[in-house]
Amino acid sequence: MRSIAFSLVFAVLPGLFPSTGRADVSALPAERLEALLQSEFLFQSGQFNQAFSYYRSQPAGQLGADELLRGSQLATVLGETAWLASLDGAPALADATQIDLIRQRFETALQAGRSASAQQAWQALFRNKDERGIPVSRAVAEAHAVRHQPTLNAALGLYAERPDLTAAERFELFQFAYQWRLDAMAERLQGGLPPQSAEAALAATIRECVEGAADACKRRLQRLDPLDLNEWQRRSVLVLAQRSGDTEQNRRWLEALPQDGGTYYQRIVLLGRAMDDAKARELMAQIRKDAALDDFQRPVLLGSLSELLKDWPEAETNYREALTAGVPTTASVRLAVALFRQGKREAAFAQLQAVEADAGLSEEIRRDAFQTEIQFHRILRSDQQDVEVLNAVYRRGLALWPQANPLRYQYAMRLFGQNRLEPAMAELQTILKAAPADADALNAYGFTLAKELNKPRAAFKPIAQAFLLAPEQAEILDSYGYVLFRLGRDEEALIHLQKAWQLTPSAVTAGHLGQVFLRLGDRQQANDYLEKGLQLDASEAELLALRERLR
């Protein structure tokens, strides 16, 4: 490797590792300095495996805090779990104050089953001056709860026994003990809270909202004062308010949090459930004045509020402004909605089709645009003028996403509705060729064979496969019962048809049940299901045919 001048090393390395002082750099051997700098250059150029070679070659005990942080980042990306496990006990990691390193220490201890080390890291995160400490500690505990619950339980027990716990720590640990059903530990932690403290009130509120009645939970939430709680305690209360379904308490605790794009959006969602024009305009004014929002967040939020207020020109203006930021977003679809609501139909369809064709956008956004285009055609009742208009939209969508089986299934059902059996069956065959275990496609294919094409023997196999894949789906149970009936297996058919009726009563299933009971000689039951079915759909062909036979 070409030698690097020491002056360059000293000038660049602190910039790459901001917390590394010049004295720390000069203390490293010259060859190691060159290797470290070369590794960082490789990292910056995206050559992660080559960059990690440096960390593989160094004993973990000799790595500094910044080296451990970069090495951990690379190891996580590369899946170097053995290297990560080797860090447990490294001096720089044990003494680290950086949140990312303490997080790494917590995760490594959990993966290695070392509860004492996990407890120490957990406490270091909670007591860290960095405001990210608490949410990071929660994220690690929740992410590892499934695979490493015994170690977490043991770490929690060690932490809970510390004599120097603050009330905030005790409450935080109570939440985990209660969530993980460590009842005795939860009781001890709750009992140790100062009786008149905010933490004691919070713990009682959690129990009331989880175990008690909705009204009791609401009263508890009303008695809590956000000013008595820190941010993360308020977030815990917000979760309770959201679970309670109380819109007013949800709004109250959302407003008690630091306001950013996320909390503003949640407040908009709440307004959408219980619209209040005055509150919407108040929120609009607050968002306009919030200098912390960027040039994308602000217009997107204002566009959503404009939609709630049905101010479509304003919504269009805001969404156009948001799109100038160049961020791939559903604002491109919402712009089309704003155009459509103003009667600008050609512009709305053109906008949606531009989104669908934009490979730079996510598949989710592009398909959202496509489904919105279909919805527009339904609103306009395009089928009443020409069914081929919407058929062409589906074909264009399938040309863009040939592997989109749910979309192809929608198109097949549409073709069935137009009595175009051959092309509909061809679409189902395409689905089944790519996805042989698609229960809905198997069911539709088999039912059509049995009913429309009068081939019950050929229909039995695909419908039986669908039943094995989804034995609790009412539509599939109905098909299975129907094909058994067509094959003369009336008693078996009855079992599945009755279960389908219990799950989802439908006029079609009522007709099938009526036919089975009639063939079994029970005209009373056949008449009963005829009447029940006609109440659901008086035009169902199966029922009309059954009525004629019962006369």
* Tens-place pLDDT, residues 254-309: 999 999 999 999 999 999 988 999 999 999 999 999 999 999 999 999 999 999 99
- pLDDT reported for residue 15: 46
Do residues 182 and 153 touch, judged by C-beta distance below 8 A? yes
Do residues 213 and 244 touch, judged by C-beta distance below 8 A? no
Closest CA to 107 of 78, 131, 87: 87
- pLDDT reported for residue 156: 95
Instruction: List CB contacts of 64: < 8 A, sequence separation 6 or more.
Output: 20, 24, 92
**Residue 220's pLDDT band (cuts 50, 70, 90):** confident
Closest CA to 257 of 226, 288, 294, 220: 226
Q: Is the pLDDT reported for residue 473 higher than 90?
A: yes
Q: Is the pLDDT reported for residue 17 higher than 60?
A: no
Q: 21-60 burial by CB neighbour count: b if 16+ within 10 A, else e?
A: eeeebeebeeeebbbbbbbbebbeeeeeeebbebbeeeeb
Instruction: List CB contacts of 91: < 8 A, sequence separation 6 or more.
Output: 61
Percentage of residues in the chain having pLDDT higher than 90: 58
Handedness of CA 249, 252, 256, 262 (dihedral sign): positive
**Three-state SS at 310:** coil
- pLDDT reported for residue 193: 94
- pLDDT reported for residue 95: 53
**Residue 435's pLDDT band (cuts 50, 70, 90):** very high
> Could you say which DSSP state residue 224 is in?
-
**Of 121-135, 176-190, 371-385, 450-464, which gets the smallest average pLDDT?**
121-135
Q: How many CB atoms lie within 10 A of CB 8?
A: 10
Mean pLDDT within 327-341: 93
Percentage of residues in the chain having pLDDT higher than 70: 92
Task: Work out the mean pLDDT of the chain and round it to a whole number.
Answer: 87
- pLDDT reported for residue 440: 95
pLDDT one-digit tens code per residue, 177-213 = 999 999 999 999 999 999 989 899 999 999 988 888 8
Which tokens hold the place of 307?
């939609």
- pLDDT reported for residue 231: 87
Q: 90-101 burial by CB neighbour count: b if 16+ within 10 A, else e?
A: bebbbebeebbb
Q: How many CB atoms lie within 10 A of CB 129?
A: 7
> Could you say which DSSP state residue 119 is in?
H
pLDDT one-digit tens code per residue, 118-171 = 998 899 899 888 888 888 889 899 988 888 999 999 999 999 999 999 999 999
Do residues 206 and 178 touch, judged by C-beta distance below 8 A? yes
